[in-house]
């Protein structure tokens, strides 16, 4: 049975340029800051100050090409491949256990100089499946056992596979975005906030304290100076970077914490180096760009021409929003340290290409809204 029924061809409108230009600015800032934050580290470890910059630039170009292709393909055609894509992620998530661990976690499939992180693909595959299935189910989603629980079980299954990789951050993002999509789809408030949210929080607390390293992160978050030379080291260096930047920053390329004080400054803690070099003003500009993206993404979802497009747009927007919020919260010490990269800014080929591909889908949805978004 095919999920996609061809419709009469209709010329698509213009993309949402608010989203497009915001993405272009974020991506440009990201590429520049990857070079600035990684140059010293790359020279020391790779004998090439532009090592990470060149790789990130290549992935950015590939991501832009992928985004351009996806924004021109009718998003309804994704219905055909969604079930297969979701099933494909299962062997990929299992395959990571056959490759060497990196920093104590098995999250990557490494093939020579290239590596692929299946969890980055999985989070979008889950969103695509939820949008497709909820659209088919319709108002039955309001039923607790037949409407909400099956989707929580599907998302929970993939979250569990990712959790087994020692990647609670992406597992949490999948469950949070699932909750948001069920809320947007019309799930009853008493079920979502009275049963599901307390259950999810209880499970999160259980998983945190059932693992030694997660429990250590939680206790370290409360008082990082208790073990300043080990568990609390990275967070303290982040505080020093943000505090040193002040209002206007030390200047682009002038960070002191990136000179081997901050471990891998171009990755998850890149925002703290941005704060050091560009100051509070630079941080507020980036936060504002993400807020603009979230606003425009929600507008696209609200004006989508069908339920499938509405849910798909909301899911894609939510993934970026939740990741950005978690990353900023971690870097500023507002929540325990966890490995969530800042979308479009942090170094990472898999994350960048897949995120930009998803942006192409979001932009295609914006081309088919019921009314023009101003």
The predicted pLDDT at position 343 comes to: 96
| Domain carrying residue 235 | 78-342
Share of the chain above pLDDT 70, in %: 95
Average pLDDT on 51-73 reads 96
Q: How confident is the model at residue 2 (pLDDT cuts 50, 70, 90)?
A: very low
Give residue-wise pLDDT tens across range 208-257. 888 777 788 777 888 888 888 887 899 999 999 999 999 999 999 999 99
Q: Is residue 37 part of a domain?
A: no
Instruction: Tell whether the model's pLDDT for residue 3 goes beyond 50.
Output: no
Q: Is residue 5 part of a domain?
A: no
Q: Is residue 98 part of a domain?
A: yes
Give residue-wise pLDDT tens across range 284-293. 999 999 999 9
User: Using an 8 Å Cβ cutoff, are 234 and 262 in contact?
Assistant: yes
Q: Is residue 243 part of a domain?
A: yes
Average pLDDT on 7-11 reads 53
The domain tally of the chain equals 1
Q: Is residue 263 part of a domain?
A: yes
Q: Is residue 187 part of a domain?
A: yes
Q: Is residue 69 part of a domain?
A: no
Q: pTM of the entire structure?
A: 0.93
Q: Is residue 51 part of a domain?
A: no
What's the distance, Cα to Cα, between the start and end of the chain in Å? 39
């Amino acid at each position: 049975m095919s999920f996609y029924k061809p419709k009469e061809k209709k010329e698509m409108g213009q993309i949402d340029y608010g989203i497009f230009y915001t993405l272009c600015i974020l991506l440009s800032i990201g590429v520049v800051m990857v070079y600035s934050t990684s140059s010293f580290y790359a020279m020391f470890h790779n004998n090439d100050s532009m090592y990470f910059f060149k790789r990130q630039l290549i992935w950015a170009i590939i991501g832009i090409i992928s985004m351009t292709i996806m924004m021109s393909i009718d998003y309804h055609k994704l219905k055909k491949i969604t079930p297969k894509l979701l099933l494909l992620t299962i062997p990929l998530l299992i395959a990571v256990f056959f490759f060497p661990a990196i920093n104590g976690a098995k999250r990557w499939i490494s093939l020579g100089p290239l590596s692929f992180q299946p969890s980055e693909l999985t989070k979008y595959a889950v969103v695509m499946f939820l949008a497709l299935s909820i659209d088919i189910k319709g108002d039955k989603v309001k039923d607790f056992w037949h409407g909400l629980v099956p989707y929580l079980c599907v998302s929970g299954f993939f979250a569990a596979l990712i959790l087994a990789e020692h990647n609670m951050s992406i597992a949490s993002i999948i469950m949070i975005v699932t909750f948001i999509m069920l809320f947007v789809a019309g799930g009853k408030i008493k079920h979502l906030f009275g049963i599901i949210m307390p259950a999810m929080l209880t499970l999160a607390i259980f998983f945190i304290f059932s693992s030694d390293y997660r429990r250590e992160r939680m206790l370290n978050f409360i008082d990082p100076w208790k073990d300043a030379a080990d568990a609390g080291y990275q967070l303290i260096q982040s505080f020093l970077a943000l505090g040193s930047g002040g209002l206007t920053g030390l200047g682009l390329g002038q960070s002191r914490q990136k000179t081997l004080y901050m471990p891998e400054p171009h990755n998850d803690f890149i925002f703290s180096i941005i704060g050091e070099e560009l100051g509070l003003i630079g941080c507020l500009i980036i936060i504002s760009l993400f807020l603009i993206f979230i606003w425009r993404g929600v507008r696209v979802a609200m004006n989508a021409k069908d339920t499938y497009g509405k849910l798909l747009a909301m899911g894609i927007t939510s993934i970026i929003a939740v990741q950005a919020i978690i990353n900023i919260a971690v870097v500023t010490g507002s929540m325990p340290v966890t490995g969530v990269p800042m979308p479009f800014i942090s170094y990472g080929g898999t994350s960048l290409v897949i995120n930009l591909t998803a942006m192409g889908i979001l932009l295609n949805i914006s081309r088919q809204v019921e009314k023009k978004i101003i």
